[in-house]
Amino acid sequence: MLDRARNIALLLARVATGVIFLVHGYQKFATMGIAGTTQFFESIDIPLPGLAAPLVAVLEVVGGIALILGVGLPVFGTLLALDMVGAIFFAHLQAGFAVGDGGYEYVLALAAASLAIGFTGGGALALDRILGLDKKLAGSRAA
């Protein structure tokens, strides 16, 4: 019973976190546009904003889909967590902790969720597990 509940909880966490990243990445393309995202990145002194903006947008879309499906979780969980660490330092740290003040509370939670999901294996309902890719990856780590 606990294993079934754990798998459902991991699925819900993956889907919720993945949807958040997918929507935020999509907004960087469709709402703000890459030019607007680049301008925003410039305004908060992100290095190489013309390169960072499309890379972050693609990472958030592809990484969000990966979390939803349960594919490549250690890689995408780590990359998305690093993305959020960047957001903390460049956009939110100076505002303090509280999200209501523009602080880093929300992005810290996303970073932690990304790492937790990335290193749980995603549960029995993750595509990597269903296809046996998690065993192949684990086997290559043991070699």
How many domains does the chain divide into? 1
Structure tokens at 141: 């780590």
Site of tokens 């029995």: 124
State the pTM of this model: 0.90
Residue 25 resides in a domain = yes
Give 54-64 pLDDT, tens digit per residue. Answer: 999 999 999 99
- Nearest to residue 68, comparing CAs of 125, 24, 119, 1? 125
Residue 141 resides in a domain = no
**Residue 140's pLDDT band (boundaries 50, 70, 90)?**
low
Residue 136 resides in a domain = no
Residue 137 resides in a domain = no
Residue 58 resides in a domain = yes
Give 90-138 pLDDT, tens digit per residue. Answer: 999 999 999 999 999 999 999 999 999 999 888 899 998 888 877 665 5
Give Cβ neighbours of residue 119 (< 8 Å, ≥ 6 apart).
73, 74, 77
Residue 22 resides in a domain = yes
| Confidence at residue 143, expressed as pLDDT on a 0 to 100 scale | 43
Query: Which residues form the domain of 32?
Result: 2-131
Residue 122 resides in a domain = yes
Span 31-54, mean pLDDT? 97
